[in-house]
Amino acid sequence: MIQPLAAGVIGAVTGFASSFAIVIAGLQAVGATPAQAASGLLVLCIGQGVLAVLLSWRTRLPLSFAWSTPGAAVLVSAHAVTGDFRAAVGAFLVCGVLILATGLWPWLRRTVVRIPRPVGSAMLAGILFPICIAPVTASIEIPLLALPVVGVWLVLVRLAPRWAVPAAMVVAAVGIGMTAGGDWLVGDGVAPRVEFVVPVFDPLVIVSLGLPLYIVTMAGQNVPGFAVLTTLGYDDPPARAVLVGSGAVTAFGSVFGAHAVNLAALSAAIMAGPDAHPDRSRRWIAAVSGGVVYLALGLAAGLASALVAAAPPVLITAVAGLALLSALIAAVVAALEEAEHRIAAIATFLVVASGVTIAGIGSSFWGLVVGGVVMAWLGWGRRRLSR
């Protein structure tokens, strides 16, 4: 029992420590107060913990869940789209309903999977790019705080890659504590609590935020999560239960500030792999253990939000950029893998990374449109010539 229990603890702690900052920063970027951001983080932890425990126990499969880290990056990039958190919550709710519908209707699942991989990956790369250059910016603007963070990350990414980002976050927290003093630890906001937010359904915010959030959550998290399970020998993961469950949790949690819950990919590799247990039939215990740990970590949501609120924004974005660097690499490689689609992929990347807002709609949507048009045009031209 010790081995799978330990794997669950490691998976949950590293998942939380390596990306909670980007979740808080993303929620605040679309208008959340520190208290609302803490509520969102708390509900995310509870939702994904409950899902992992219930579904893993029921199926005897290592089904671990996580918040959508690429989705949080979408929130950071959407800061110019809305400052009204109620409208963002409406977009979160729509995203949850779409994930639930994807689980209920196979045709919708097939449609999402058919989104051209180069365009979808390029959109994700464009979202991540401004965040991943933040370590460079922070090292110039606040070198005394940022350079130790980058240095620790660089050392550990060579010696202990799994702990590189959590250690960088610890160094950042120490630096924040030294500069901000102890004031950020005082106040009612540090105690865990949930805050209800009445959703507002703004069509422009839904198109600019809700749809990209849904697409990157499905393409960047759920699809890779299923692929990891299949690679590790679980040939028939329960896609319907996973998507319906995560969609329902996302929709319910949205009114408390949670943006999206999905099947985990990195945590799945930790909790469903041989390190969790040599016997594949015993690895579900690791996912249950990780879920329980997430329930406990949710109690630290207020403290995490207070820490982020006390920090220079560029420092938090820098830590997030280090955490998302591997995701950026994977997205760029996938976007440029097929030579015939590289122009469409680059066009998508440039539009998304530009951060432009046209007619109140953000760059993520326009990047998909431009990439799709370019791919269709170039593909049509090749088909005509081949005849």
User: pLDDT tens digits for 236-279?
Assistant: 788 889 999 999 999 999 999 999 999 887 667 777 777 777 78
Contacts of 378 (CB under 8 A, 6+ apart): 340, 341, 343, 344
Per the structure, how many domains does the chain have?
Answer: 1
Average pLDDT in the chain = 85
- Burial, 114: exposed, middle or buried (Cβ in 10 Å; 0-12, 13-18, 19+)? exposed
What value does the mean pLDDT take over residues 24-34? 91
Q: Say whether pLDDT at 337 is over 90.
A: no
The larger pLDDT score, comparing residue 357 to residue 85, is at 85
Sequential DSSP letters for 239-250: HHHHHHHHHHHH
Return the minimum-mean-pLDDT range out of 23-27, 126-130, 315-319, 359-363: 359-363
Beta-bridge mates of residue 263: 65
The pLDDT assigned to 86 comes to 95
What's the Cα-to-Cα distance from 174 to each of 7, 77, 314, 316, rounded to whole Å? 27, 27, 16, 13
The pLDDT assigned to 273 comes to 76
Q: What whole-number distance in Å separates Cα of residue 121 and Cα of residue 104?
A: 25
The pLDDT assigned to 385 comes to 45
pLDDT classification of 114: cutoffs 50, 70, 90? low
The larger pLDDT score, comparing residue 38 to residue 78, is at 38
- Domain extent, residue 251, equals 2-386
Q: What whole-number distance in Å separates Cα of residue 202 and Cα of residue 17?
A: 33
Return the minimum-mean-pLDDT range out of 86-95, 101-110, 287-296, 357-366: 357-366
The pLDDT assigned to 382 comes to 58
Sign for the CA dihedral angle at 349, 354, 355, 360 comes to negative
Sequential DSSP letters for 199-231: ----HHHIIIIIHHHHHHHIIIIIHHHHHHHHH
Q: Say whether pLDDT at 386 is over 80.
A: no
Question: Is residue 102 within 8 Å of residue 250, measured between CB atoms?
Answer: no
Sequential DSSP letters for 277-343: -SSGGGTHHHHHHHHHHHHHHGGGHHHHHHHHHHS-HHHHHHHHHHHHHHHHHHHHHHHHSSGGGHH
User: Residue 262 is inside which H or E element, if any?
Assistant: strand 261-263
